[in-house]
Structure 1
């Protein structure tokens, strides 16, 4: 039973690390030479571009996670049946496979990508981004 919970717990912990929302994200720029009203307007427009991308990324991530979990369930159930002696081993293998499939889903685009989009958008508008791209 511990083996089936480990991937699920790991995935939960990793997704909980995302603490800064896209609405709170602000790239680091040198403010000494910028018009603050224009900066805020540009930032708002760039956030809107990032929100659209984030929604698309999350849809794609959900589809990928569903496919990965189904593949994991099938492979885990087959492995559990081959190794074990009964239904409990099949169920444990399927649960473990589902967890591995979910944990194997790439979440970087859904959580890190939109911040990079904001940075690139602001850079294209003439702002010198001082932070690592996407890191604020």
Structure 2
């Protein structure tokens, strides 16, 4: 597994939230965000799209899990009432690039935590997310981004 450690900037995002079990319904939430972003002229080849599971389904009941579909926006952009806004704090993240297929992404999520622990990292409390660039037709990979810190010796 080829994991890079990078320092990510803060991201200001506009997002749409779904509450409930993670899975196929997340796609509808992402489509709603993309539809809004296209209407606003924000969804293009330079866009950064984030898929953010806010809760651990091993700890939080599936009915209460929050999923956010977000797009990075400038500090000047004025958000309307169709979406919410938030800021994701930057910092040290483990980045694992995978093919943009459901199978490859799921496999990566299943092994990334074990690999990070083997390399001496612990998971930080900031949100983890999948990061996509550009319009849908141009996206053939995704970055799984996990906030990390080095274990204290």
Where relative contact order (Cα < 8 A, 6+ residues apart) is larger, the structure is: 1
TM-score, structure 1 as length reference: 0.28
TM-score, structure 2 as length reference: 0.26
